[in-house]
Structure 1
Amino acid sequence: MSERLRPRDLALLAEESPSTPMHNATVEIFEPGPDGFDYGRLVRLVQDRIAFVPRYRQRIQPVPGRIANPVWVDDPNFDIGYHVRRSALPRPGTLDQLRELVSRIVSRPLDRNRPLWEIYVVEGLDGGRFALLTKSHHVLVDGVHTVDIGQVLLDKTPEVRPMEPDDWLAAGRPSPFALVADAVRDSVTTTDTVVDTVRAGTGAVLRGASASLRATGHVLDALANRTPHADSPIIGPLSQQRRVVTVRTELAAHRKVREAHGGSINDVVLATVTGALRAWLMSRGESMRRIRQVRALVPVSVLDDELEPTSLGSQITAHFVDLPVWESSPVVRLHQVSYSFVAHKETGRGIPASRLAGMSGFAPATFHALGARVAGAERRGGYQLCVTNVPGPQTPLYAAGARMVATYPVPPLYEQRPLAIGVTSYDGGVFYGINADRDLLPDADLLGPCLTEALDELLDSASGGRTRAPRGRRKKKTDQP
């Protein structure tokens, strides 16, 4: 019996449109090993490791008459060559050219008639480097049954871990009669099937009504006073095109600010984002007195028995932070962000960053995907910006013998929110990935230097020996590495 999609997964599929593709992406840059670049070796690596994520060889199959939710079934035509694609930049390829290529690829939705993922191998980067761009749909990576494929591709040493031979064969394609029979059987033996089907059907009606209301000005949101600051410069209708911006900074710089002012690495990251938004908005001629703050959703890892368990050992929930872009002092901005997390820390539910960074495989890929799901579930919650920050391992990782030297998350954009930021710390670096709507925010590339300058401001304040932040915590196990 195949597994059925849950109502929350159907909601994600229903919300998807050409302007809001529901996939999470990651860009990773590698230095080849002594033997050089070998595309065939990379394909074999993916083919071997996909055994850890069998959902990646399945597609969505609707049930005739919609008498039950769709099911996951093996794709009898699964073709690794379709999903692992080869591309190249004109040598020597620059990071700007890579970002432009990534922007175009992440703008395109995934094909629902196939397993919902793709990997692009991009050759030709300067210095003989290459990049991997992974795209995985939200319904694919739920953290319960399936993690992101990026979590299982990387090894701790250049030597590839030996794997047992994968003798996978696709199950036969279920007939319409078999799909209906299974749906009837599930309805009789599993009450959840009936409940989920009713929820999905009701949700479809509500989403249809919501679509009509969006066309007439989001009437329901306005009545509920939940429109996310419609006058904000980072709120507006999305186009079908994206612009991806990447920035590498040093973890040592974030640690220096933390040591000088207290708080956590996460606080420093958010204060850096706040300073960058302030400088970028001012470059656009925006009045800080009018805007004053940007409400951000920051997914956090917690231990909570009331939330759905995941295979990662923790749950992800939403934490809302008002980023004080009106404040001119970088230290005061850091203070403000630090205070916003006091209540969360005092609950005792938080997960130590060292534990997250030490999870098996490259867990940030999965955590970013789960954070995006949380942002999607809260999309009517009034936030303007989602910032996901995930600590990763501080030792190098390898794919098919090539060392990963950079990793940039590319979070998705949801309706009316043309900007999202993902952050991953790895091997001494802190990597900022920015996804922006190309038409609504044509100057989003300026956010790159603004991030660097905002961190420099904090570093200058740390060198000046200013007063520590109110929380005044030295490094503890709950801080990021």
Structure 2
Amino acid sequence: MSERLRPRDVAFLEHEDPTVPRHVATVEVFDPGASGFDYDGFVALILDRISFVPRYRQRVQEVPGHLANPVWVDDDHFDIGYHVRRSALPRPGSTEQLRELVSRIVSRPLDRARPLWEIYFVEGLADGRVALLYKTHQALVDGVETVDLGQVLLDKDPGVKVLGGDEWHPHRRPSPAGLLAGALHDNLTDRATALDTVRHAVGTAVGTADRLTAGAGRVLSGLAGRRPDRGHALSGELSQQRRVVGVDSALADYRTIRDVHGGTINDVILATVTGALRAWLMTRAESMGGLRQVQAMVPVSVIDRELEATSLGSQIAPHFVTLPIGEPSPVVRLHQVSYSFQAHKETGRAVAANRLAGIAGFAPTTFHAIGARVAAAEVRRDFQISITNVPGPQSPLYAAGARMLRTYPIHPLLPGQALAIGVTSYDGQVFYGINSDRDLVPDVDVLGQCVTEALAELLDTATGGRPTIPRGRRKKAAPKP
């Protein structure tokens, strides 16, 4: 029997539109070295490992009359060449060219008629390097039944491992009559399915009414000669296009700051983002209306039996943080961010960063996917930006013998929010992926530079000989992450 989509997965599909595509992306850069890593070898690697994530060969099938939630069915026309695409930059491809290519690709929604993922194999980078761009729909990866494909493609050593993927044969596509019979059976015998069907119908009606109201408002604004609301630097009416920026930094710098000022690596990263937002906003001409704080939603890993279990050994919960962008002192900003996480640490539910980093495979791709789902579920809450930081392994990983050098998580924008930031630590480095609306944030490259400068500002307070603790404040022992 085909598995039925859960209400949250259906919501991701129903709330998607051209201005708010609902996929999570990741950019990974590899050094092929002597491995001979090429497109054909990468396709062979995926075919060898895809059996570990069977939903990557399934698509969404609607039920006639919407008598129940859609179901996952095998794609009997599954085409690996469609999902794994070959692209190239003019040699030697620059970082700016790769960024522009990635920005165009992540702007496009996925095809609902096929399995909800794509990977681009990008050649032509300088020094013979290649990049992989993953796009995965939020409805696909839930961390319970399905992890991200990127988690099963990487190995801890450069030796090429052939795991012997299964010889796949798709199940027969269910007929409309079979889908109807299954829907009626589930509604009559499974109370949860019946409730989901009712919620789906109500949600569809409400969503249609909201879209009609919003559309009418845009039409009336156009007739009146008014431009769409472009909001301020962090919010506004989204366009269909995105800009993406990646930032590299050294993990050792964050550890130095933590060891001097206390807190955790996560605290230092959020303080760096706070300083970057502050500096970036100060470069902009428009007024922020006296805004001195930014409300951020930061998914955190917890142990909580009341939350949805995941296959990764922990649950992901929303945590709301006030980023003090009006505070001029970088050290005070760090202490304020640390304080906001203190209550979470004291609950005893927090999961240590080194435990997350030790999960088999490159689990950050799955954690980022779940974090994006958590952020989307909290969209009605009063926050202005989502920031997801996931620790990864501190030793190199390989795909078919090619060493992964960099990884940048790219989170989807939420309705009305102009920015989303993902952070991953890996092999002694910390990588930021900043996704932005192309019209609302045309200067996102400035924000990327501000991240580098904000980290340098914090590092200078730890190594430059200036006082590291505000007057009257006692230094606490620095806990390990």
- 1:15-94 matches, within 5 Å, as 15-94=15-94
**Structure 1: stretches of 5+ with no match in the other structure:** 219-229
CA distance in 1, matches of 2:308, 2:76: 31
CA drift of 1:147 comes to 0.7
Distance 1:125 1:470, change over 3 A: farther
Question: What is the RMSD of the two structures over their aligned residues, measured on CA atoms?
Answer: 1.7
CA drift of 1:198 comes to 0.9
CA drift of 1:289 comes to 7.5
CA distance in 1, matches of 2:35, 2:398: 14
CA drift of 1:37 comes to 3.2
CA drift of 1:95 comes to 0.8
Distance 1:335 1:60, change over 3 A: same
CA distance in 1, matches of 2:247, 2:49: 29
Asked if residue 174 in structure 1 is aligned to residue 163 in structure 2, the reply is no
Asked if residue 449 in structure 1 is aligned to residue 439 in structure 2, the reply is no
CA distance in 2, matches of 1:8, 1:217: 28
Q: Which amino acid aligns with 2:364?
A: P
CA drift of 1:38 comes to 2.1
Tell me which residue corresponds to 1:338.
338
CA drift of 1:210 comes to 2.5
Deviations 1:340-376 (A, max 9, x none): 0011111111101011000111110011111111111
CA distance in 1, matches of 2:178, 2:45: 35
Per the normalisation by structure 1, the TM-score is 0.94
Tell me which residue corresponds to 1:315.
315
CA distance in 2, matches of 1:100, 1:473: 44
CA distance in 1, matches of 2:215, 2:267: 39
Aligned 8 A contact 1:338 1:471 in 2: no
| Equivalent in 462, 474, 477 of residue 478 of structure 2 | 474
Helix, strand or coil at the partner of 1:452: helix
Tell me which residue corresponds to 1:414.
414
CA drift of 1:444 comes to 1.1
Q: Which moved more, 1:461-470 or 1:258-267?
A: 461-470
CA distance in 1, matches of 2:2, 2:353: 36
Asked if residue 149 in structure 1 is aligned to residue 149 in structure 2, the reply is yes
CA drift of 1:285 comes to 3.2
Q: Which moved more, 1:78-87 or 1:35-44?
A: 35-44
Aligned 8 A contact 2:69 2:197 in 1: yes
Aligned 8 A contact 2:232 2:288 in 1: no
Helix, strand or coil at the partner of 2:376: helix
CA distance in 2, matches of 1:263, 1:217: 47
Distance 1:372 1:467, change over 3 A: same
Q: Which moved more, 1:197-206 or 1:13-22?
A: 197-206
Per the normalisation by structure 2, the TM-score is 0.94
Q: Which amino acid aligns with 2:436?
A: A
Deviations 1:30-60 (A, max 9, x none): 0003143322111000111111100000000
CA drift of 1:410 comes to 0.5
Asked if residue 386 in structure 1 is aligned to residue 386 in structure 2, the reply is yes
CA drift of 1:175 comes to 0.7
Q: Which amino acid aligns with 2:283?
A: S
Helix, strand or coil at the partner of 1:290: coil
Aligned 8 A contact 2:85 2:118 in 1: yes
Deviations 1:92-133 (A, max 9, x none): 001111000000000000000000000000001000000000
Distance 1:414 1:288, change over 3 A: closer
Q: Which amino acid aligns with 1:67?
A: L
Tell me which residue corresponds to 2:325.
325
Tell me which residue corresponds to 2:96.
96
CA distance in 2, matches of 1:13, 1:435: 20
CA drift of 1:168 comes to 1.1
CA distance in 2, matches of 1:384, 1:35: 44
CA distance in 2, matches of 1:343, 1:35: 48
- 1:122-137 matches, within 5 Å, as 122-137=122-137
Q: Which moved more, 1:288-297 or 1:92-101?
A: 288-297
Helix, strand or coil at the partner of 2:110: coil
Count of residues paired in the alignment: 467
- 1:229-308 matches, within 5 Å, as 232-285=232-285, 290-308=290-308
Tell me which residue corresponds to 2:163.
163
CA drift of 1:382 comes to 1.1
Distance 1:289 1:195, change over 3 A: closer
Tell me which residue corresponds to 2:2.
2
Tell me which residue corresponds to 1:370.
370
CA drift of 1:216 comes to 6.3
Tell me which residue corresponds to 2:434.
434
**Structure 2: stretches of 5+ with no match in the other structure:** 219-229
Q: Which moved more, 1:177-186 or 1:344-353?
A: 177-186
CA drift of 1:233 comes to 2.4
Tell me which residue corresponds to 1:396.
396
Q: Which amino acid aligns with 1:472?
A: K
Aligned 8 A contact 1:262 1:470 in 2: no
